[in-house]
Copies of this chain bind each other. A is one copy, B any other.
Amino acid sequence: MRAVTFQAPGEVRIEEKPVPELGAADDALIRVEASGICGSDLHIFHGQVPVEPGFTIGHEFVGTVLAAGADVERVAVGDRVLGCFHTACATCATCLRGDYHRCERGRIFGHGANLGDLQGAQADQLLVPRANVTLRRVPEGMSDDVALFAGDVMGTGYHAVAHAGMRSGDTVAVLGLGPVGLCAVQAALAGGASKVFAIDSVEQRLAMAADFGATPVHLTEEEPKRVVRAATEKRGVDVVVDAVGAAAPLAMAVSLCRDAGTVSGIGAYAGKGEVPLGLAWLKGLTLRLGLANVIAHVDRVLSLIEAGKLDPSPLVTHHMKLDEAAEAYAIYDRREALKIVLTP
């Protein structure tokens, strides 16, 4: 079968690989019918996340179950399914608390030996361990373009506001309108945000956020803090999502948040960063950082998509063939695409 493999920074290549085989009793084998290219794939492409040469990448997928082990109970051979971006054992101390994203035996698809040694989804077929936890049936009538995001980027947007404890009627600001930020905008509005300030410096993304129902705020041509304060009786918003993942947006998030509010840091922070601790302390803020717990959210996300309240399809700017993967990564690297879907 064909598989998109990482070779070296800046280089991915289609390779021919043997079809994977079922191992554990809760494994499933999937014929991949659509896979997405994600911002974290770009981190791998850039060599920022170390992945072995020849490793298959990709972690967003929709497909059909070709085979399933004896313990697979939630999906069956022939089912059209979507996957979460990682697996979880469901039984370690962390999983039993519901923190599936921090599973002690968790494995991320297509992220190399270091993050679980689990071959990726940009391929003709995919072996899915812990299928009961990782896979869900695609609700009838839901398109591939939409379903494949429920367990990754849309699940992350949902997490960003749910984990912040956003309540219906709250005000929200979202910093960074990449795919995750745009999904957070949708999730906030779906969950009852009365106003969402969508902040970025790319006009096209601001326009898309406005189209979703948010108030677009240009990062540099406007003053986000002034805009937000003016619209909130000088209080700031209840919840701020930092979808960038760096010290500067986090500092801005602290400045935009109301007293005793919550900052949800969903972007991938790295290393150390300078934080306005004094201001955060004076305001009495809660900061919640980390990867999204998509396994905990995927059923609700699917329900919201099915109800038409979430719709990731506008994010898909390009459809390409698996064989065109090298070109697709080049386009994505040049930031010409928001989201690329690969089909066989």
Chain A residues in contact with chain B, CB under 8 A?
Answer: 24-25, 71, 73-74, 89-102, 105, 130, 132-133, 158, 161-162, 167-171, 187, 190-192, 194-195, 235, 245, 247, 250, 259-260, 265, 268-278, 280-291, 293, 295-297, 299-301, 303-304, 306-307, 309
Contacts and interface: CB of A to CB of B under 8 A. Distances in A.
A289 B161 CA distance: 19
B265 A281 contact: yes
B194 A191 contact: no
B272 A250 contact: no
A11 to B, nearest CB: 26
Nearest to A254: B289
A305 to B, nearest CB: 9
B304 A169 contact: yes
A194 B277 contact: no
B97 A307 contact: no
Nearest to A74: B91
A91 B301 CA distance: 17
How many copies of the chain does the oligomer comprise?
4
B71 A24 contact: yes
A33 B144 CA distance: 54
A286 B287 contact: yes
Contact of A192 (B105, B291, B309): B309
B260 A289 contact: no
A339 to B, nearest CB: 22
A170 B288 CA distance: 20
Nearest to A306: B194
A192 B270 CA distance: 33
Nearest to A192: B191
A309 B167 CA distance: 14
A137 to B, nearest CB: 10
Nearest to A246: B277
B281 A245 contact: yes
The 6 closest A-B CB pairs, nearest first, are A169-B300, A284-B290, A168-B191, A194-B303, A91-B132, A269-B277
A190 B168 CA distance: 7
Contact of A280 (B260, B269, B278): B269
A167 B166 CA distance: 10
A187 B169 CA distance: 10
Nearest to A280: B289
A25 B27 CA distance: 13
Given A98-B98, A168-B300, A278 B270 contact: yes
A160 B25 CA distance: 36
Contact of A171 (B191, B272, B303, B309): B303
B25 A300 contact: no
A138 B168 CA distance: 19
Contacts of A91: 73-74, 90, 130, 132-133
A259 B269 CA distance: 16
Contact of A287 (B105, B247, B287): B287
Contacts of A268: 281
A192 to B, nearest CB: 4
Contacts of A301: 169
Contacts of A290: 260, 280-285
Contact of A304 (B92, B192, B278, B295): B192
Given A99-B284, A168-B158, A270-B277, A192 B195 contact: no
